[in-house]
Structure 1
């Protein structure tokens, strides 16, 4: 079981998916990410790509995000996120059983205050291509933040992005990125 760290759902537990399929973001990393942005979340629109356990989406909802759009392509994992959403009685989380590129295309007319990317570790090309798609479709708000969780520093971000902060937690790197 994973627990929601803070906000109106603080302490509530969600079932976690098979660890052979996904790698949930640890409590320590989630806590640090959200402490960095806690005063910016209220009333925001969030896109959570590669949702995995859904814990990041639930944390955003718990801390006051207005709407969270979450994509997970694995049907079994998607069903578990949906089950957890019902258990927590959350109405402003919109789940999609599609891969990240499809999700970006679906919402190319929308702007997000936060976009969270946590693709499978060691999938640097997928991460870089997803960042390119986000720029091409212009879905990150002018003052928005792209948050990237990965296991490497060796990522080629577009020159249109500015790394605002970079943090390291063990083998995990988290980048907070803005548009230039």
Structure 2
């Protein structure tokens, strides 16, 4: 995987093969960050990266100037790899080893962007729990967005607070936002 833009543009990061991950493709990541770039100033936001795996998305935010990034993953090897990589690049990434659902039930800190990249074979009810917990626990800032990466075979448009989705090859990003009050 490589960092697309920012301070570390072009840097390649090679994760150990034994990690249980499926990193977001460079093409999909570049398209996603083009969308985010049009919505936010990277140095003014906070990011929560759920099911962070290799840390691919967190590194991209850090390279673009985001100072407040939290990566959550249940796998110790993933957390260790993110810590080592972030330390090597001097990136401001805080890691938390936790089951994502347990973390979402307990945390009280809202973020501007919450990015979730759960396993593509997750049951639909597990995908549904992510926005449910995020909105139930007020974990998005007022102008924030929850982005869930999933397979094009998984449909999330029926879930509350769904805004829109974008497809890139076999990847989809579904965007969820706070409903505007009338």
Written as runs of structure 1 = structure 2, the 5 A alignment for 1:25-174 is 25-39=24-38, 40=40, 41-90=42-91, 92-108=92-108, 110-123=109-122, 124-151=124-151, 152-155=153-156, 157-159=158-160, 161-163=161-163, 165-174=164-173
Shift of 1:125: 2.2
Instruction: Determine helix, strand or coil for the equivalent of 1:13.
Output: coil
Shift of 1:20: 6.5
Which structure 2 residue ranges, 5 or more long, are not aligned? Answer: none
CA–CA separation in structure 1 for the residues paired with 2:68 and 2:86 = 13
Shift of 1:59: 0.6
CA–CA separation in structure 2 for the residues paired with 1:119 and 1:96 = 16
Instruction: Determine helix, strand or coil for the equivalent of 1:78.
Output: helix
- Number of residues paired by the alignment? 175
**Any conservation in 1 of the 2:131–2:176 contact (CA below 8 Å)?**
no
Which structure 1 residue ranges, 5 or more long, are not aligned? Answer: none
CA–CA separation in structure 2 for the residues paired with 1:87 and 1:169 = 31
Moved more, 146-155 or 65-74: 146-155
Shift of 1:76: 1.4
Shift of 1:19: 6.5
Which aligned runs of 4 or more in structure 1 are off by greater than 6 angstroms? Answer: none
**Any conservation in 1 of the 2:52–2:72 contact (CA below 8 Å)?**
yes
Aligned CA-pair RMSD: 1.7
Q: Judging changes above 3 Å, is the alpha-carbon distance between structure 1 residues 129 and 17 closer, same or farther for their aligned structure 2 residues? A: farther
C-alpha distance after superposition, 1:19-58 (max 9, x if no partner): 6711000000000000111141232011000001101001
